Amino acid sequence: MPGLLAVSESPLNAKRLRAEALGLPDPNARDLVAEVTTPEIRIYNPRARTSVVLIDCGTKLGIVRSLARRGVAVVRVPADTDFARIMSFSPRGVVISNGPGDPKRSQATIAAVRRLMRENLPVFGICLGNQILALAAGADTYKLKFGHRGQNQPCLEAGTKRCYITSQNHGFAVDGETLPRDWAPWFTNANDGTNEGIRHRRRPFWSVQFHPEACPGPTDTEFLFDRFLEAAG
């Protein structure tokens, strides 16, 4: 919800302020990912034998650190990097990072991820990456009436009785009802029942709406990085 913070020693003109607030541009109408992605390719832990590509849609450096300390090189690329350039690094897997705004604005990223899945390359999405993976798979996303913010969002893992406490900051979600037959919901928000993760039923593609790297926040779901890297070999 857009709004204004007005400070004045004289009485405020509510009518003028209301008109100004209504005239604020919608940030979701902009390609916010293009504004925050890295402008250049950066490599972390370059001496490692195994590398993964991190598609930077506005990534938290905690994701970079979580991967690097597990012994892999992290090739951080701009969000609009195409399939051929990503594959030129011979990655064992690809991570799609978090980021701001409407995921449907990231058409170049969606196209690259769709092409990567044809190669059966392990793909792991985080936050916005969850939405981008869903769109690449053929599902839909939507704007939440109330976004998820904070470090204590409870998420239920499908097929288990486990509830994880997670860190979240997002305003869009995957419509789980639109997932293709080969895909299944992975996690669900225990508060409002919205989707918190998806996975392919047979192939190495997964994503979560929350932040397994925490930083700051609970570390309940850091094991997801280990699962991804096991699949990436």
Q: What is the CATH number of the domain that holds 103?
A: 3.40.50.880
Identify the bridge partners of residue 43 per DSSP, sorted by sequence position.
75
- Residue 121 falls inside a structural domain: yes
The domain total for the chain is 1
Given a cut of 90, whether residue 12 has pLDDT beyond it is no
Given a cut of 90, whether residue 3 has pLDDT beyond it is no
Q: Which residues span the domain enclosing 112? A: 28-232
pTM: 0.93
- Single out the residue of 86, 201, 88 nearest to residue 96, CA to CA: 86
Q: What mean pLDDT do residues 189-216 have?
A: 96
What CA–CA distance (Å, rounded) separates 9 from 146?
34
- Residue 35 falls inside a structural domain: yes
What CA–CA distance (Å, rounded) separates 190 from 203?
27
Q: What is the mean pLDDT of the chain?
A: 95
The tokens describing 233, both together, are 């070999």
- Residue 208 falls inside a structural domain: yes
The tokens describing 172, both together, are 């869009």
User: In 10 A of CB 103, how many CB atoms?
Assistant: 27
Residues forming the active site: 127, 211, 213
- Residue 174 falls inside a structural domain: yes
Reduced to 3 states, what is the DSSP secondary structure of residue 137? helix
Give buried/exposed letters for 31-52 (b at 16+ CB in 10 A, else e): bbbbeebbeeeeebbeebebbb
Report pLDDT for 104. 98
- Residue 146 falls inside a structural domain: yes
pLDDT in tens, 203-228: 999 999 999 998 888 999 999 999 99
- Residue 22 falls inside a structural domain: no
Q: What mean pLDDT do residues 73-77 have?
A: 98
Report pLDDT for 27. 87
- Residue 47 falls inside a structural domain: yes
- Residue 32 falls inside a structural domain: yes
